[in-house]
């Protein structure tokens, strides 16, 4: 067991707030099943890299057989950024499978919503490569804070109630599934693990990582993050309440909703 393994399993805070919450999500949402072959997708950031370490711990104490491939897509990183990913993986004993894609070259030609296109293309390439490698699932490093920010963003800027599901079936790659085992882990605890081990990572997986600093000041996600922070000053339970709000939906009080693309209205059952 190296120092980084010990920092999770022998440090009470990290064991409880990282590994225990990781395994809770795996069990609660049935994310890992016998004979699964999971492509653990590593972008180079703190979240996906920690996810890889937690999967290694899960593999060590597994109760049934499953396989892991630690998959990195190089969408056109500069040499120093790719090297950073490789160095962190070597430091943490994570065996990488790296493949390349032309995503940055394509996105460079797009003026409107390049980040949206980049994210969609990345996922498509990851699904395809994972399937080619014999995987039936890809794992992404979205965490608890991503979930509650998504809920708030949907309400305030999208005019809809939606959430980031812990797992979903791929629509374009039959037989493939996306899972989010970091679903119950707080971002502050990820940062604490990073800082305790003196690690540094790429800031994000988009083209902004090619710049010295990634500016997210004007993004809606950053606005949602700051709003939650302000609300928490008045109500310490606001984050948990946002998370639980999409688990406690009372359809008897909803004016309209969609299921499988079909819109339903409360007047359908109103006398």
pLDDT surpasses 90 at 73 = yes
Contact (Cβ atoms closer than 8 angstroms) between residue 228 and residue 187: no
Output the CA torsion sign for 12, 16, 18, 23. positive
Quote the Cα angle for 148-152-154, to 5°: 115
How far apart (Å, rounded) are the C-alpha atoms in residues 97 and 203? 21
Structure tokens at 149: 């920010």
pLDDT surpasses 80 at 212 = no
Q: Is 198 left (phi over 0), alpha (psi -120 to 50) or beta?
A: left
φ, ψ for residue 122 (rounded to 5)? -60, -45
Nearest CA-CA partner of 18 in 189, 243, 145: 189
Mean pLDDT computed over 104-127: 76
Residue at token pair 């390349």: 100
How confident is the model over 228-247, as pLDDT tens digits?
Answer: 999 999 999 999 999 999 99
User: Residue ranges of the domains in the chain?
Assistant: 3-144+162-211
Contact (Cβ atoms closer than 8 angstroms) between residue 71 and residue 129: yes
Element (H, E) at 135: none
Instruction: Give Rg (Cα) of the chain.
Output: 19
What's the N-to-C CA distance of the chain in angstroms?
A: 66
How confident is the model over 7-19, as pLDDT tens digits?
Answer: 788 888 999 999 9
Task: pLDDT band for 119, please (50, 70, 90 cuts).
Answer: confident
pLDDT surpasses 80 at 74 = yes
Share of the chain above pLDDT 90, in %: 73
Q: Which CATH number fits domain 3-144+162-211: 3.40.50.300, 3.40.50.620, 3.30.413.10, 3.40.50.920?
A: 3.40.50.620
As a 3-state breakdown, the chain gives helix, strand, coil percent values, each rounded to 5, of 50, 15, 35
Length of the chain: 271
Helices (H), the chain: 3-9, 12-14, 20-28, 46-60, 79-91, 103-107, 114-132, 144-158, 187-196, 220-234, 238-245
Contact (Cβ atoms closer than 8 angstroms) between residue 88 and residue 49: yes
pLDDT at residue 206, as a whole number: 55
Say how many C-beta atoms besides its own lie within 10 A of residue 81's C-beta.
15
Say what angle helices 79-91 and 46-60 make with each other, to 10 degrees. 30
pLDDT at residue 121, as a whole number: 83
Mean pLDDT computed over 98-117: 75
Using CA atoms, how far residue 200 sits from 81, 102, 254, 257, in Å, is: 12, 26, 45, 43
């Amino acid at each position: 067991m190296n120092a980084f393994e010990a920092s999770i399993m022998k440090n009470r805070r990290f064991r409880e707030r990282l590994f225990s919450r990781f395994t809770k999500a795996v069990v609660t949402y049935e994310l890992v099943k016998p004979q699964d072959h999971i492509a653990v997708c590593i972008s180079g950031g703190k979240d996906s890299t920690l996810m890889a370490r937690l999967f290694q711990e899960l593999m060590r104490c597994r109760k049934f057989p499953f396989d892991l491939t630690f998959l990195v897509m190089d969408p056109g990183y500069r040499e120093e950024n790719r090297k950073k990913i490789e160095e962190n993986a070597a430091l943490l004993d994570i065996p990488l499978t790296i493949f390349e894609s032309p995503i940055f070259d394509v996105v460079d030609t797009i003026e409107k919503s390049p980040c949206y296109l980049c994210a969609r293309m990345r996922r498509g390439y990851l699904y395809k490569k994972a399937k080619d490698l014999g995987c039936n699932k890809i794992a992404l490093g979205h965490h608890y804070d991503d979930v509650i920010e998504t809920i708030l963003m949907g309400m305030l800027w999208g005019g809809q109630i939606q959430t980031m599901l812990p797992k979903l079936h791929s629509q374009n790659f039959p037989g493939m599934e996306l899972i989010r085992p970091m679903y119950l882990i707080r971002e502050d605890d990820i940062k604490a693990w990073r800082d305790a081990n003196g690690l540094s990572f790429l800031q994000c997986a988009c083209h902004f990582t090619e710049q010295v600093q990634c500016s997210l000041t004007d993004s809606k996600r950053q606005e949602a993050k700051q709003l939650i922070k302000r609300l928490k000053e008045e109500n310490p339970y606001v984050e948990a309440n946002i998370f639980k709000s999409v688990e406690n939906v009372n359809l008897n009080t909803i004016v309209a909703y969609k299921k499988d693309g079909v819109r339903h209205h409360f007047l359908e059952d109103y006398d």
